[in-house]
Amino acid sequence: MCNDKTRHPVLAVVGPTATGKTALGVALAERFGGEVISTDSMQIYKGLDVGTAKVTLEETHGIPHHGVDIRTPDQLFSVADFCAMAGELEQELFTRNTLPILVGGTGLYVQSFLYGVRFTKEKAPDGLREQLAAELAEKGPEAMYAQLQAVDPKAAAAIHPNNQVRVLRALEHYRATGKRLSEQKAESLPAERPYRSLVLGLDFPERVQLYHRIDLRVDKMMENGLLPEAELVYQNRERFKTAAQAIGYKEFFPYFEGNAALEDCVEKLKQASRNYAKRQLTWFRHMDGVVWLDAAAPDVTEQAVRLTQDFLAKG
């Protein structure tokens, strides 16, 4: 049986987009001799820098950031892949007496790793994936999401209706095994969590502050070359399947097709980013044990340092 004396410590900095997670993660790594493991499902892709708000070399302050630029955009990368990678990194960092700091807003990555979700290797029956893809093309995403709601309402509630990859994956699991994906996830949790963790959440007391920062971030992205990056994804949308469905790229497809004005697409991206931030907050607020900090507080870093000191002292 594990106890707090034998479980390795892991720190995490989570929260919605544009709350300053990167800067706080770096500051804590500098203070406690840590290294960052990115928990952003899009920053893994090489060449997609602006639309993913990828950490820059200057922002890292020389702190190693693992899990960034590790795949080309035509490669798939699942939560199971992330947990396997992060598990190996945690072991390696522990042998160097280095604190792993998870930083990012992909709640599924953070929760699956910290909760110790066990992933099984399943092979779908031949032709099932193609059959589902054909159904999607014929019936449309709304009909497929309705199917998922009918057979596995819990899984459907955790997946955005527009996330076709995850909708089809959940339907594939159900048709291949006869089991709901939500049931499989519940069965995959160990009796005890593998790590001793402190999860710091960043948010603003007023939602309008967060939305203002998101709007400013989108404007900055446009200045920094988001449009040509989005066009690259558009031109390769059949190969870059994950990126083609990602916020930051798909909003510009109507512009490239000549069906929408650029300003309208930018506004659509701002709205999509605000909606995504709400979904991130919902996810992290359902995780137990998150310690929430006011991202606008002038002493937010000092608060995080004190909490981390107390956490490490109890080990």
Query: In this predicted model, what pLDDT tens digit does every residue of 279-297 receive, in sequence order?
Result: 999 999 989 999 999 999 9
Our count of domains for the chain comes to 2
Same domain, 182 and 196: no
Domain assignment present for 240: no
Average the pLDDT over each of 93-102, 182-191, 218-227 and give the range with the smallest value.
182-191
Looking at the structure, tell me whether residues 67 and 141 fall in a common domain: no
**Would you call 208 helix, strand, or coil by DSSP?**
helix
pLDDT over 80 at 227, yes or no: yes
Angle at Cα 80 formed by Cα 184 and Cα 41, nearest 5°?
A: 120
Q: Do 201 and 301 fall into the same domain? A: yes
Tell me, yes or no, whether 157 and 52 share the same domain.
Answer: no
Q: Are residues 49 and 17 in the same domain?
A: yes
Burial class of residue 57, CB neighbours in 10 A (0-12, 13-18, 19+): exposed
Residue 206: which pLDDT band, with cuts at 50, 70 and 90? very high
Q: Does 1 score more than 50 pLDDT?
A: no
pLDDT of residue 164: 79
Q: Residue 187: its pLDDT value, please? A: 66
pLDDT of residue 8: 95
289 and 172 in a common domain: no
Q: Which residue has the higher pLDDT, 141 or 255?
A: 255
Asked which of 139, 168, 187 is the last residue of a domain, the reply is 187
DSSP 38: E
pLDDT value at 216 more than 90: yes
For the cut 60, the answer to whether the pLDDT of residue 3 exceeds it is no
Identify the pLDDT of residue 166. 82
CATH number at residue 183: 1.10.20.140
The interaxial angle of helices 79-95 and 107-115, nearest 10 deg, is: 60
Given a cut of 90, whether residue 123 has pLDDT beyond it is no
Q: Are 277 and 214 in contact (CB under 8 A)?
A: yes
CA distance 292 to 184: 30
The whole-angstrom separation of Cα 286 and Cα 299 is 26
41-97 per-position pLDDT tens digit: 999 999 999 999 999 999 999 999 999 999 999 998 888 899 999 999 999 999 999
* Rounded distance between C-alpha atoms, residue 199 and residue 193, angstroms: 14
Rounded to an integer, the average pLDDT of 169-195 is 80
Q: How far apart are CA 225 and CA 49, in angstroms?
A: 9
Mean pLDDT taken over the chain? 91
Q: DSSP alpha helices (H): ranges in the chain?
A: 21-32, 57-60, 79-95, 107-115, 128-139, 141-151, 153-157, 164-177, 181-187, 207-223, 226-235, 241-244, 253-256, 262-286, 300-313
CA-to-CA distance for 307 and 313, rounded, in angstroms?
Answer: 10
Of residues 172 and 162, more confidence is placed in 172
Q: Are residues 204 and 180 in the same domain?
A: no
**Structure tokens belonging to residue 61:** 């302050």
Q: Of 1, 21, 8, 222, which is closest to residue 95 (Cα–Cα)? A: 8
**pLDDT greater than 80 at residue 172:** yes
Would 242 be classed as within a structural domain? no
Same domain, 201 and 183: no
Structural domain that includes position 291: 8-116+192-222+281-313
pLDDT at residue 110, as a whole number:
95
Beta bridge partners of 30: none
Mean pLDDT of 211-220: 98
| Residue 135: alpha-carbon gap to chain centroid | 28
**pLDDT value for 2:** 47
Length, in residues, of the chain: 315
